[in-house]
Structure 1
Amino acid sequence: MLEDIFKDAEQRMKKSLDILRQELAGIRAGRASPALIEHIEVNYYGTPTPLNQLATITAPEPRMLVVQPWDRNAVSAIDKALRSSELGLNPAVDGQILRIALPPLTEERRRTLVKLVKEHVEEAKVAIRNIRRDALTHIKTMQKNKEISEDEERRAEERLQQLTDRYINEAEKLGKQKEHDILEV
């Protein structure tokens, strides 16, 4: 029974880290990355659709992204979605291809991006702590119902705390790496 609680908690903590990785991949560092725009929602025939489901996104140069839609009719919708995103992009439409030149990051923009990274890391840490809280509630309930002894409860709490610390450290490590990438000129 305790093992099920630990497995569930660990799976949920892994999911929190995976989400953090996705969010950090979408934050621009010094180089252009398809992950920067692949999750932008495009209004495709009245349905919000992620860009990576409508087009091929490549980074042929360090400061250039190329979007090649599979459907010619989607070019204007993709252009509109990219322009209205909070990324401040200005794509150039070249027939059926959109070229996005990414300007170099200013110092102010780098600081803003670092702040955003810290917010995402903090959200992940809060999610991990909430998972720990849920697991602790289950463990305490088991002890109240006399399914486990007080010693087993204490050992389970210590093991859960070690698991939590491991995932929080991993989240911080991901954040530090991304900050380093952003601040690197």
Structure 2
Amino acid sequence: MAEDFILDTDDLQRRMDGTMNNLRTEFASLRTGRASASMLEPVQVEAYGQMTPINQVGTVNVPEPRMVTINVWDKGLVNKVEKAIRESGLGINPQMNGTIIMLPIPELNEERRRELTKVAGQYAEHARVSIRNVRRDGMDQIKKAADGMAEDDRKLWEAEVQEMTDKYIKSVDDALEHKQAEIMQV
């Protein structure tokens, strides 16, 4: 049985990829002082009796580096979209112009930049922990099958899982370094 052991590395890789995608989404929601449509992704609006992402009630554009505009399709939702942005904690003050909501992105001060780099670090640490948990699951599968498995085979599987883990941890570290540099850039 153990000689026929095949570790589902595709499953491990898929789970680690999921962690990386989640990290990218979390990083995109961090404001860098530069306008980006993705900064509105976490904001939900109460529309038609349910919570809806902003990009499903209007067109989000970035016409210039410090401005995001939302062209709300339904006139009746303009005030709800504005209220959702005000209450989102993004620290942005929406300005109304008919059905268009303009979001001027203020400069980040040094203190706020440092806070954001710490938050980015926390997101990265959660991603590392998640990747290590996937590694542990893979190692547990190998251990369970270790009875009757050749020592060399076991070591080969463990090395493969460790190599995959190291690759993903490095990706997390690289992404964090890039995001922190982006945040600190004035």
Q: Using structure 1 for the length normalisation, give the TM-score.
A: 0.94
Letter in 1 for 2:171: E
Q: How does 1:162-177 map to 2 (within 5 A)?
A: 162-177=163-178
Q: Which moved more, 1:99-108 or 1:33-42?
A: 33-42
Q: Which residue of structure 1 lines up, in the alignment, with residue 159 of structure 2?
A: 158
Q: Using structure 2 for the length normalisation, give the TM-score.
A: 0.93
Q: CA RMSD in A?
A: 1.4
2:65 equivalent to 1:32: no
Q: How many residues align?
A: 183
Please state how far the C-alpha of 1:141 moved relative to its aligned partner. 1.1
Q: Which residue of structure 2 lines up, in the alignment, with residue 121 of structure 1?
A: 124
2:82 equivalent to 1:79: yes
Q: Output the CA distance in 1 between the equivalents of 2:13 and 2:165.
A: 9
Letter in 2 for 1:135: G
**Per the alignment, do residues 63 and 163 of structure 1 end up closer, same or farther by CA in structure 2, a change over 3 Å counting?**
same
Q: Which residue of structure 1 lines up, in the alignment, with residue 180 of structure 2?
A: 179
Q: Output the CA distance in 1 between the equivalents of 2:60 and 2:167.
A: 35
**Per the alignment, do residues 66 and 10 of structure 1 end up closer, same or farther by CA in structure 2, a change over 3 Å counting?**
same
Q: Which runs of 5+ in 2 are unaligned?
A: none
Q: Which runs of 5+ in 1 are unaligned?
A: none
Q: Output the CA distance in 2 between the equivalents of 1:19 and 1:129.
A: 15
Please state how far the C-alpha of 1:3 moved relative to its aligned partner. 4.9
Please state how far the C-alpha of 1:30 moved relative to its aligned partner. 3.0
Identity of paired residues, percent?
Answer: 38
Q: How does 1:42-81 map to 2 (within 5 A)?
A: 42-81=45-84
**Per the alignment, do residues 138 and 99 of structure 1 end up closer, same or farther by CA in structure 2, a change over 3 Å counting?**
same
